[in-house]
Structure 1
Amino acid sequence: MVDKICVLFLCTFACFVCVKTDVVCEVGFCQSFLSDADNSCPQTAADCDINNATHTGLRLKSPTLCNCCDYCLPLYGKGDHCSLGGPGTGTTIGRCGHGLTCDPETSKCIRMKSKCHDAQDVFDARASRGEVGALERRPYCDAKGRFVAFDCVPTQTCFCQSEEGERLFGEVLYTGPLQNMPCGCSRFNEQIRKLISTKVPFPVPGPRCTADGNFNPVQCIDRICYCVNRINGEISGGETINLDTEPISKLPCYDPNFDLFPEIFWAEPPYNYTTPCYNSVQDKAKIIEQGERDGFIMDYFNTFDDMDCLPDGTTGRIGRTRNGSKICIDQRQNRIGDYEAHMNTPEYENMDCKCALTTELMTALSEKPVCCANGNFRTIQCYRGFCRCVDSDGRQIGREEREVNRLQCFTSNWQQC
C-alpha cells in the first residue's frame, strides 16, 4: 500500500500504425498535390454550407491523402431516413443529428429516449397547461440526450450537475441566460466515484477543483506538481516543481485565491500543497496500514465515511460544534451565519446548508432567498410581490402566486422551519 494520496487521472491511449509511404504531409503539400490535374477532391455534401432548420452537418477531416480535401458529415433531422447498416438496410453518408437516434424498425431518425428528454417532456406538458412559473427553466440536454453540465436558478446561482441531472460540487452567481459553466473537474470526480470499486481500501481522490467546478490550475501527483488548463484539465506549459525542494508558489500558474490553506505549505522544505481533509485521510491510512503490519484486525476502523473530501479537498460544508450540533461552514471552514441544527431533531437529519451557501455567494446582493434555521431552503420563497414553491436546491416548482395560501406547498406554519 502506498502511504501517500495520489491524484487519479484517467488516460486515453491512442494506437498508431506505421505504414511505408513516400508521402510526407509538409506545409504546402496539399496545394501542390491538388494542383495536379489527376488529383481532385470529391464533391462534399452541401449540408455544412446550408446549416438551417432542415439541413446541417459537421465539418471533419477528410479521409483523403493528408486530409487535403474538405469533408462534411450530414446530420439528418427527425423523421429522415437513416441506416444502422446490415443486409438490405441500405447505406447513408451521414448520421442522425444531435439528440436523435436511428430507429432500427422504421429506419427513421427519432428522438433519443433519455432522462433529460423525459424531463423536457414533463416541462412542456406543464407549460401547455399553464403550470410553469416565471423562474422555472426548461431542462437543457446535450447532443446525446444527457443533462448539460450545469443548471441555474435565475436571480440566484448556477451549480454543476451530472449527466443524470443530479447536483454536483460547484456553484457560482447567476449572471444571465448566456452563462456557461463547464464543470469539467466536478464531473471528472463524479465519474471517478462511479468507476472506482467500493472495495478499494482507501479513498482515491480525483483532480482538485475550484469552487466553480473547474480544474484547479495546479495539480500534483505524489510530490510533483504542474500546471493544467482550468477548463479541460490538460497539462499546460512544461514547468514542474518537486515539493521536496520547492514551494508550490514557484509554479507560474499558482493562484493564492485558489489556495484554501496556504499556511500548510509555508514552512521549511519539504513543502506541501494539501488540505486538512487530505491530511486526515493520509494519517488514518497510515494507522490502518501500520495496524495490519502489526497483526491487528483493522476492519472496524477501515471506514472513511466521516472524512470524505470534496473535490476541492475540503471536508464538506457542514461542521460540528463541541456539543454535537451541526453548523454551516464555507470552503475555508469558517462558520456561515448562525445556522445550526441540534441532535435528535428532524432539522439535524435533513440539514444540507444549500441555502446558507447560496446566500453567502449573494452577500453583495440586496435580494436573497430565505433560509431555514438549519441553512436549508425554505419551501416557500417570495420575490417582488409573488411567492413560489421551491425544491431543496431553491428551484421553483409550479406557478407563483400573490396570495401565499394558494400555493400547493402552503402550510399554516410555512414561515417556521
Structure 2
Amino acid sequence: MFTGRCFCSDENGRRIFGQMWRNDASEMTCACSRKRAELEKSGRMTVSLHCTANGDYERLQCDDGICWCADPKTGQPTVTPVMEEDMKHLPCYSPLVTGEQYLRRCESLVHSLALIHKEQSEHGTNFLGHPTAFCDYDGSYGPYQIQNGIAYCTGRDGKILGSWQVMASEMSGMNCSEYI
C-alpha cells in the first residue's frame, strides 16, 4: 500500500499550496488553492481567500471586503455574505480562530506594502528598502522572504531559519524545503 503524500497542482500540473497524506486524501479537492492560483495568474495579487492545509476552503472566507461562510469543497456561500466589518455575525466566525481581523500577519504586510507602493507610484516615488513578503494560501509566511535584496528561508511565522541566504537576483534555484 502506497502511503506517500498527495499534492495540489494547477491546471498545468505545477505544484501549488495544499497537501495531505494519501490515506487521508480521498476527500481532498484543492479547490481553494486552484482558485487562488487562477486569480493570481490573472494578475490579482491581493487575493485573501484562505485555504486549509489540504487546499480546500476554510469555513470563513473574506475577499474584497465581503465575508461569507463557505462550503469547504466549493467555496460557495452557505449563508448570505456580509461586509467584512460584520464578519463577527456570521455563524462560522470564531474569535479563537480568526481573531479581531480576517487578514493574518503576512497578508496584512503584503496588503500594506501594496497600498504603499500604489501611493508612491501615484506620487512618482518608489522606496526600494521595504521587505518583499510571500504568503502561503493559509495566510502564513511562505518558505522564503526578501529583505534589502537578500533572500532568506523562513518559517510559517516569518522568522529566518538557519544562516543560509542568497542575493535575491540569484535565488532561482533556492530550496528551503530542508528547513521545513
1:314 pairs with 2:143: no
Per-residue CA deviations over 1:23-48 (Å, capped at 9, x if unaligned) read xxxxxxxxxxxxxxxxxxxxxxxxxx
Match of 2:173 among 350, 360, 369: 350
SS in 2 for 1:309: coil
Asked if the contact 2:135–2:141 (Cα under 8 Å) also holds between the matched residues in 1, the reply is yes
Shift of 1:169: 0.7
1:279 pairs with 2:108: yes
Higher helix proportion, which one? 2
Pairs within 5 Å for 1:286-297: 286-293=115-122, 296-297=123-124
Question: Which whole-Å CA distance do the structure 2 matches of 1:285 and 1:320 have between them?
Answer: 15
1:252 pairs with 2:91: yes
| 2:38 matched residue in structure 1 | 191
Question: Which whole-Å CA distance do the structure 1 matches of 2:95 and 2:174 have between them?
Answer: 31
Shift of 1:213: 0.7
Q: Which structure 2 residue ranges, 5 or more long, are not aligned?
A: none
Aligned residues: 176
TM-score for the superposition, normalised by structure 2: 0.72
| 1:167 matched residue in structure 2 | 15
Question: Which whole-Å CA distance do the structure 2 matches of 1:288 and 1:194 have between them?
Answer: 20
Letter in structure 2 aligned against 1:341:
W
With over 3 angstroms needed to count, the CA separation of the structure-2 counterparts of 1:287 and 1:339, relative to structure 1, is: closer
Larger Rg: 1
Per-residue CA deviations over 1:182-232 (Å, capped at 9, x if unaligned) read 000111112223333xxxxx7241632222211121122444321111111
Match of 1:213 among 45, 55, 58: 55
Question: Which whole-Å CA distance do the structure 2 matches of 1:327 and 1:291 have between them?
Answer: 29
Higher RCO (CA-CA < 8 Å; seq separation 6+): 2
1:236 pairs with 2:83: no
Asked if the contact 1:325–1:342 (Cα under 8 Å) also holds between the matched residues in 2, the reply is yes
Asked if the contact 1:328–1:340 (Cα under 8 Å) also holds between the matched residues in 2, the reply is no
Question: Which whole-Å CA distance do the structure 1 matches of 2:147 and 2:46 have between them?
Answer: 28
Shift of 1:160: 0.5
Question: Which whole-Å CA distance do the structure 2 matches of 1:212 and 1:274 have between them?
Answer: 20
Question: Which whole-Å CA distance do the structure 2 matches of 1:321 and 1:342 have between them?
Answer: 11
Shift of 1:321: 8.9
With over 3 angstroms needed to count, the CA separation of the structure-2 counterparts of 1:290 and 1:241, relative to structure 1, is: same
Asked if the contact 2:131–2:146 (Cα under 8 Å) also holds between the matched residues in 1, the reply is no
Amino-acid identity (%): 25
Shift of 1:277: 2.9
TM-score for the superposition, normalised by structure 1: 0.35
RMSD: 3.8
SS in 2 for 1:283: helix
Question: Which whole-Å CA distance do the structure 1 matches of 2:117 and 2:159 have between them?
Answer: 30
Letter in structure 2 aligned against 1:285:
A
Question: Which whole-Å CA distance do the structure 2 matches of 1:204 and 1:320 have between them?
Answer: 18
Shift of 1:290: 3.5
Shift of 1:313: 2.6
